[in-house]
Amino acid sequence: MSSISFTIEKRAPGNRARAGLLTTPHGVIHTPAFSPVGTKANVKGVLPAALAALGTEVVLANTYHLYLQPGEKVVQDAGGLGKFMGWQGPTITDSGGFQVFSLGAAFGKTISKFVKDASAEADARHKQQSVAMYDTDVASQHGQLAIIDDEGVSFTSHLDGSLHRFTPERSVEIQHALGADIFFAFDECTSPTEPYDYQREAMERTHRWAERSIKTHRQNIDAHKKQALFGIVQGGRHEDLRRESAREIASLGFDGIGIGGSFSKEDMRGALQAAVGELPEELPKHFLGIGEPGDILEGIAGGMDLFDCVAATRIGRHGSIYTKRGIIHLRNGEFKNDFTPLDPEGIIPGTESFTRAYVSHLVRSGEMLGAIIASMHNVGFILNLMEGARQAILDGRFDEYRAAFVSAYYY
């Protein structure tokens, strides 16, 4: 029996958007929901109490990083991920597959979650707003090594160059020790630039790894009672592969489904629709690594229930913030004497007293408080966006809500 339950409360007419309740051992997640990313058991710049005050209901952490530091045994001895980081609510861990990709095909490159759009205008927005798919947290002087075979992946630590190996079984074992309410099967995350034949090869390998992951999970009776396992649909930007992958992953009996991989922004909707159309309606669905405002709204319309992304805190650390009029970059000189709130149309709890001029001063002078305020603001902005979308679905006006959102976030 699954450790989670999912109830759909309301469906939006004309698309696949839905509002639901995802019940976990550590609390209820009101969907659609956004999970701030706490890569190393911390959401950068935001204390757990502040996360709760902002409206966070679930936090996602990273298997690869916690395996290397401090080690899954330390987290387990602390009572699991939530207790270790001082977070009371539900938690999720990913499988580590994305970080392995960062050490391999994407190492040293700025490969975005999306291939560049065709138009010059869209491409300019993409460069300004998107976050590198390459995980900058695994960059080091130790060089590249991530060798994939049918059994698993061998890789070097970005910390000291030591050699390690992940298999589906090992990834599940680590995530059992981390103890998150929801965790993901080990998969191969491909570069959007890989050819069709390799996308198929990687997808089929992901399917075999999914079978091994779910078998390992079910063999651990205690973990099976406490934790839910989600499978991951792959297939890149190719709709036929997405449909095939969705059918295969859905047949394995996972507690939920993640949509992973990479594709162009122009292809995102088609790839998503191709996958979701093959998935069981009753399962919760997580759009992995998606967190820009426009992409979230597209994902909700496509039937996604959960989202996660490092973008909110990453761009915050660099002095950029979300507003209802689009992203603004507080390092720019135009904000030096701008004494208006960070976003006059949406004040975020905990940031009420700060002006654009003040935060601009902090980030331009390298003060860490600037990154903290901007990160808090961005996390709160995305959480407010999710809350508004959920209420709009319940009120039967989601299309209106989505259409009214500033066009700057659709690119």
Q: Give the least confident one: 109-123, 316-330, 334-348, 363-377.
A: 109-123
Residue 139 binned pLDDT confidence (cut-offs 50, 70, 90): low
Per-residue pLDDT, 1: 66
Instruction: Tell me the per-residue pLDDT of 183-229, one tens digit each, with 9 for 90 and over.
Output: 999 999 888 888 999 999 999 999 999 999 999 999 999 999 999 99
Q: Give the least confident one: 8-22, 198-212, 258-272.
A: 258-272
Q: Give the least confident one: 29-33, 103-107, 108-112, 140-144.
A: 108-112
Q: Where are the domains of the chain?
A: 5-315
Per-residue pLDDT, 144: 59
Of the candidates 135, 295, 308, 343, the residue annotated as catalytic is: 308
What is d(CA 234, CA 218) in angstroms, rounded to the nearest whole number?
23
Per-residue pLDDT, 112: 44
Per-residue pLDDT, 123: 40
Of the options 3.20.20.105, 3.40.50.410, 3.40.50.1980, 3.40.228.10, the CATH number for the domain spanning 5-315: 3.20.20.105
For the segment 22-30, the average pLDDT, to the nearest whole number, is: 98
Residue 408 binned pLDDT confidence (cut-offs 50, 70, 90): low
Tell me the percentage of the chain whose pLDDT exceeds 90. Answer: 77
What is d(CA 6, CA 31) in angstroms, rounded to the nearest whole number?
10
Per-residue pLDDT, 137: 60
Residue 125 has pLDDT above 70, yes or no: no
Active site residue 94: yes
Per-residue pLDDT, 135: 52
For the segment 344-349, the average pLDDT, to the nearest whole number, is: 94
Residue 15 binned pLDDT confidence (cut-offs 50, 70, 90): very high
Specify whether the backbone of 27 is left (phi greater than 0), alpha (psi in -120 to 50) or beta: left
Instruction: Tell me the per-residue pLDDT of 72-83, one tens digit each, with 9 for 90 and over.
Output: 999 999 999 999
Q: Give the least confident one: 268-272, 293-297, 380-384, 385-389.
A: 268-272
What is d(CA 324, CA 329) in angstroms, rounded to the nearest whole number?
14
Residue 261 binned pLDDT confidence (cut-offs 50, 70, 90): confident
13 prior amide bond cis, ω within 30: no
Of the candidates 94, 255, 267, 305, the residue annotated as catalytic is: 94
Compute the residue count for the chain: 411
Residue 136 binned pLDDT confidence (cut-offs 50, 70, 90): low
Helix or strand run (H / E) with residue 256: strand 256-259
Q: Give the least confident one: 121-135, 291-305, 330-344, 379-393.
A: 121-135
Per-residue pLDDT, 52: 97
Which of 204, 174, 211, 36 is closest to 96 using CA atoms? 174
Q: Give the least confident one: 125-129, 261-265, 334-338.
A: 125-129
What is d(CA 393, CA 255) in angstroms, rounded to the nearest whole number?
24
Per-residue pLDDT, 279: 97
In a 3-state reduction of DSSP, which class is residue 327? strand
In a 3-state reduction of DSSP, which class is residue 238? coil
Per-residue pLDDT, 134: 40
The H-assigned helical ranges of 220-264 are: 221-226, 239-250
Answer for the pair 22, 29: CB distance below 8 angstroms, yes or no: yes
What is d(CA 347, CA 116) in angstroms, rounded to the nearest whole number?
33
Please report where in the chains the tokens 């390459």 appear, as a residue.
Answer: 134
For the segment 138-144, the average pLDDT, to the nearest whole number, is: 54
Residue 6 has pLDDT above 60, yes or no: yes
Please report where in the chains the tokens 């209901």 appear, as a residue.
Answer: 57
Q: What is the mean pLDDT of the chain?
A: 89
Which of 243, 232, 78, 235 is closest to 168 using CA atoms? 232
Q: What ranges make up the beta strands (E) of 82-181?
A: 91-93, 146-148, 153-156, 163-166
Residue 142 binned pLDDT confidence (cut-offs 50, 70, 90): low
Which tops the pLDDT comparison, 287 or 265? Answer: 287
Which tops the pLDDT comparison, 261 or 180? Answer: 180
232: tokens are 């991951």
Per-residue pLDDT, 360: 98
Tell me the percentage of the chain whose pLDDT exceeds 70. Answer: 87
369: tokens are 């408080």
What is d(CA 25, CA 178) in angstroms, rounded to the nearest whole number?
15
Active site residue 255: no
Please report where in the chains the tokens 């639901």 appear, as a residue.
Answer: 20
